[in-house]
Structure 1
Amino acid sequence: MGAVLMAAGAGRRMGYRPKSLLRREDGKPLIAHHLRALVAAGLSDVVVVLGHHADRIGEVLQQEKQAAASPSGLQWVLNLNPDDGPGSSLRCALAALPADLDAVLVTLADQPLITAADMLSVLTAWRARAPGTALLVPRFQGQPGHPLMFDTRVRRDLMAQPVEAGLRDWRRAHPAQVAWLDANHPRYTFDIDTEADLARLAAEHGVVLR
């Protein structure tokens, strides 16, 4: 299994700031916490896809690559056209992962509450999936979230899709091959887009990002 960490966004609604570099109370950027969670979940082949803010995020990744707690197979790729959408960024990352992986986990670098335990829950559900399941998506109160997982069939289909298409399009076109992991918490669906999200994160979850 391998993993993709999506970090190509511009952060427009956050004043064009790189959301993955928001820092937790321990001073470490959000993206570093995700890398450590991926390692703790047993994932070593990790591709981070960059776009906007690539130079700044790349500096942090270079530092993280030297850390013992980072994935041994950590690499990062640049999407030259990140505004083409998440499908474009995902395809850049999938092209960089080893071809022989049987499944891929995809997570977002601007999710402040995701833990290694949450990733392990997705991995456990994936291993127990029903025959014919090609995509596993966590959800909370009906809202799809991340991290999600898919197999080689989905990976192949995604690589062949047009530039504007993404995983959501595949999911809607193949509902019978999708399994849902229903959660009783919002960690899978809480991401940071605005200053209001930061305030809600602190007020509701006690997590302060700076």
Structure 2
Amino acid sequence: MNMTLILLAAGDSLRFNGNKLLYEMNGKPMYRCIIEEIDQLPGGLFTRKLIVTQYDEIMDYMKDSGYKIIVNKDSKLGISHSIHLALKELENEDTDFLFAVCDQPYLHSSTIESLVRGFKGSKKGLACLSCEGELGNPALFSSRYRKELMELKGDKGGKRIIRAHMSDVFLLEAADPAELQDIDIRPR
């Protein structure tokens, strides 16, 4: 089965008081942390890679990266709009989807790979990272959940679908809780 990686990088960072994706962490903009981890993954894990963003800086950086850039001009419509834009790009493809966010700078490539391999081996339709019962990103959806993803509204993401189908979920416990941490508030 094909697997498409979809990076979500279009949020407005309202609680951060500035564009958190461009905030410098470890000498680089935050969004590059996950990209560098993905670059360490074995070839062939993903058949396609997409990034959904509204930011020119990210588009410029990603233009020669092998990712298909999807422009989100209506980020105020919430994360569901980014999900819909990515799925519309893939509407004629039989593929599963891994959604990852670009504000999780402590996520490791080995964890992403374990999540994908565990999902494939589990024969389940959904997967996500978890830590002590808390569901987190990245999240995987088999193609049979495309319709439910397209029905999402506003700033509600795929966790709603995962919670509704827990018997069909492969959970990977994160080795380090920091891997699930997304940065919503500017560090002091």
TM-score interval w.r.t. the shorter chain? Answer: 0.7 to 0.9
The match for 1:206 is none
Q: Judge conservation of contact 1:19–1:110 (CA < 8 Å) in 2.
A: yes
Range with greater deviation from structure 2 (92-101 or 117-126): 92-101
- Structure 2: tracts of 5 or more residues without a match: none
CA change 1:19–1:120 in 2 (3 A) is same
Whole-Å separation in 2 of the counterparts to 1:94 and 1:39: 23
The Cα offsets for residues 126-154 of structure 1, whole Å up to 9 and x where unpaired, read as 1211x3x1110110111111111111011
- Structure 1: tracts of 5 or more residues without a match: 200-210
Residue among 126, 129, 132 paired with 1:141: 132
The match for 1:186 is 177
The match for 1:61 is 59
The alpha carbon displacement at 1:40 in A equals 2.3
3-state secondary structure, aligned to 2:11: coil
Whole-Å separation in 1 of the counterparts to 2:10 and 2:4: 19
The alpha carbon displacement at 1:119 in A equals 1.0
Aligned length in residues: 182
Larger strand share, 1 or 2: 2
Whole-Å separation in 1 of the counterparts to 2:47 and 2:63: 12
The match for 1:104 is 97
Question: TM-score, with normalisation over the residues of structure 1?
Answer: 0.76
Tell me which amino acid in the other structure corresponds to 2:13: G
The alpha carbon displacement at 1:120 in A equals 0.8
3-state secondary structure, aligned to 1:128: helix
The Cα offsets for residues 52-94 of structure 1, whole Å up to 9 and x where unpaired, read as xx2xx3233323333xxx3x2x122233332332222211122
3-state secondary structure, aligned to 1:100: coil
Which residues of 2 match residues 1-210 of structure 1 at below 5 A?
1-15=3-17, 17-25=18-26, 27-41=27-41, 42=43, 43=46, 45-50=48-53, 54=54, 57-66=55-64, 70=65, 72=66, 74-97=67-90, 99-129=92-122, 131=123, 133-159=124-150, 161=151, 163-164=153-154, 166-195=157-186, 198-199=187-188
3-state secondary structure, aligned to 2:130: strand
Q: Judge conservation of contact 2:23–2:30 (CA < 8 Å) in 1.
A: yes
The Cα offsets for residues 162-205 of structure 1, whole Å up to 9 and x where unpaired, read as 5345412222322222221122311442010112xx24xxxxxx
Q: Judge conservation of contact 2:30–2:102 (CA < 8 Å) in 1.
A: yes
Identity of aligned residues (%): 26
Question: TM-score, with normalisation over the residues of structure 2?
Answer: 0.84
Q: Judge conservation of contact 2:125–2:144 (CA < 8 Å) in 1.
A: yes
Larger of the two Rg values belongs to structure: 1
Whole-Å separation in 2 of the counterparts to 1:135 and 1:146: 12
Tell me which amino acid in the other structure corresponds to 1:13: R
Range with greater deviation from structure 2 (119-128 or 91-100): 91-100
